[in-house]
Amino acid sequence: VRYYTPLVGIAALMLGIVPPLFVGDGANWIHRALIFLVISCPCALVISVPLSFFGGIGGASKCGILVKGGNYMEALAHAELVVFDKTGTLTVSSPKVAEVVSLDPDWTEDEVLKISACLEEHFPHPVARAVVKAAEQKNLAHEEEHAEVEYIVGHGIASKLRGQHLVIGSRHFVEEDEGVSCAFAQNQIEAIASKGHSVLYLAMGQKLIGLIGIEDPLRDESKYVIARLRQMGIPHIVMITGDGEKTAANVAARLGITEFYSQVLPDGKSAIVSRLGKEGRRVLMIGDGINDTPALSAASVGVSLSDGADLAKEVASVVLLGSDLTHLPLALELGRRTYARIKTNFRTTIGLNTAYLVGGLAGLIMPATGAVLHNATTLGVAWNAQRAKLPGDTSDYAPFLLEFAQ
Q: Show the 3-state SS of the chain.
A: CCCHHHHHHHHHHHHHHHHHHHHCCHHHHHHHHHHHHHHHCCHHHHHHHHHHHHHHHHHHHHCCEEECCHHHHHHHHHCCEEEEEHHHHHECCCCEEEEEEECCCCCCHHHHHHHHHHHHCCCCCHHHHHHHHHHHHCCCCCCCCCCCCEEECCCEEEEEECCEEEEEECHHHHHHHCCCCCHHHHHHHHHHHCCCCEEEEEEECCEEEEEEEEECCECCCHHHHHHHHHHCCCCEEEEECCCCHHHHHHHHHHHCCCEEECCCCHHHHHHHHHHHHHCCCCEEEECCCHHHHHHHHHCCEEEEECCCCHHHHHHCCEEECCCCCCHHHHHHHHHHHHHHHHHHHHHHHHHHHHHHHHHHHCCCCCHHHHHHHHHHHHHHHHHHHHCCCCCCCHHHCHHHHHHHHC
Q: Distance between CA 116 and CA 119 in Å, rounded? A: 5
Q: Within its chain, how far is the Cα of 68 from the centroid?
A: 12
Q: Which of 25, 85, 310, 393 is catalytic?
A: 85
Q: Is 85 a catalytic residue?
A: yes
Q: Distance between CA 110 and CA 227 in Å, rounded? A: 41
- What residues are labeled active site? 85
